[in-house]
Amino acid sequence: MRFGQFSLFFITLFSVFSFPLSAQNPPQRAIAITIDDLPAANANRMTGAEIVEMTTKLLATLRDQKVPAVGFANERKLYRLGEVDDRIKALNLWLDNGFELGNHTFSHFSLNRVTLPAWEDDVIRGETVTKILLAQHGMKMRYLRHPYLDTGRDLQTRRQAEAFLVSRGYRIAPVTMDAWDWMYAGVYEDARKRGDLALQQQLVSSYLSYTGTVLDYYEKLSKDLMGYEPKQILLLHGNWLEAEHIGELLEQLRKRGYQFVTLQDALSDAAYSMPDDYIGEEGTNWLDHWAITRGHPPLNTPVFPQWVLDRANTLPKPPPDPPVF
């Protein structure tokens, strides 16, 4: 009896104190990190040595914090005279550090802008080096990320491309969260080169704040659409902004209750099997796809900070890709 009384006492204590504690705890959420445009988004402006330096910094934070990630490569960026070894080394660092690589097509071709056969050829060409590196680590290529998130201008092209990808052993890597880090990164890398620390800090603050807005919006859209928040998939890019500040982004995600899961784990969420008939000129994320498929196009989507767009528009155009034969 005494034991029963004690139990009741502790249960009462627990009920009294656990409620306010649990009310403070953030909800349990999960997110997979994916990083596109490897070995570096801005590879035409960087030397191979700088790409290795940037990659080392980015991966050190992810590895130290035990955050899994898949990186998606555009192998065209490897072919620069005298630099091929360094650029391949940067890709290989991903695997050496326990991360995974996927295919983002050779030339970053949009499926909405080129013919299906040309796009399929570009997918195959994008496998060459990455497949060898994966095999050396006992792994296989299994994910494809559509450049620009463009999945096809019409349903027939979309479905044919999907069948082609399945036939080559791919699983499509969708995106549900995207705060346009690439738009910030161009301005950030320019400021970094000029040593403009004030602008760099302003961009980081804006990026983290805009990320918060995107997360608020798509967490709510998730709940409105399917009644829960699926395991999300975040799109980032290989750039100096992430290499130097991904730690702050990860902290922000943790504070919101996110746990970091592998892409494979995220894809096990039933959400990724929902009907998706989205077609359109503009690539967009899969939460938008599902909402549009259900006849509820998302309204009042987050507005990207105009001052960053204005700054990005003043940057000189990136040098063209060197020819590859």
Residues 319, 144, 231: CA angle, nearest 5 degrees: 115
Query: Residue 36 or 86: which CB sits closer to Zn ion?
Result: 36
Stretch that binds Zn ion, among 32-40, 185-193, 227-235, 278-286 (CB under 5 A): 32-40
* Smallest distance, Zn ion to C-beta of residue 197, A: 28
Which residue in 37, 75, 100, 269 binds Zn ion (CB under 5 A)? 37
Name the one range near Zn ion by CB under 5 A: 31-39, 158-166, 200-208, 280-288.
31-39
Q: Which of 31, 32, 33, 36 binds Zn ion (CB under 5 A)?
A: 36
φ/ψ region of 260 (left if φ > 0, alpha if ψ in -120 to 50, else beta) reads beta
Q: What is the Cα–Cα distance from 99 to 130, expressed in whole angstroms?
A: 13
Cβ atoms of 41 and 235 closer than 8 Å: no
CB atoms near residue 13 (< 10 Å): 10
Whichever of 150 and 219 has its CB closer to Zn ion, that residue is 150
How far is residue 141 CA from its own chain's centroid? 17
Please give the Cα distance from 130 to 308 (Å, whole number).
Answer: 34
When asked if residue 229 is in the footprint of Zn ion (CB under 5 A), the reply is: no
Residue with smaller CB distance to Zn ion, 29 or 119 = 119
Residues 142-201 that bind Zn ion (CB under 5 A): 147
Nearer CB in complex with Zn ion: 103/222: 103
What's phi and psi for 73, nearest 5 deg? Answer: -105, 150
Minimum CB separation of residue 104 from Zn ion in Å reads 6
199 versus 312: smaller Cβ distance to Zn ion: 312
Pick between residue 36 and residue 83 the one whose CB is nearest to Zn ion: 36
Q: Are 48 and 80 in contact (CB under 8 A)?
A: yes
Contact segment (CB under 5 A) with Zn ion among 12-20, 34-42, 55-63, 200-208 equals 34-42
Gap between the Cα atoms of 204 and 202, Å rounded:
6
> What's the CA gap between 317 and 42, in Å, rounded?
11
Q: Which stretch binds Zn ion (CB under 5 A): 93-101, 124-132, 139-147, 296-304?
A: 139-147
Please identify, using beta-carbon distances, which residue of 58 and 225 lies nearer to Zn ion: 58
Per the structure block, which two tokens stand in for 111? 């499926």
Bridge-based pairing state of the strands 171-172 and 177-178: unpaired
CB of 71 to Zn ion, least distance (A): 11
Q: List residues binding Zn ion (CB under 5 A).
A: 36-37, 147
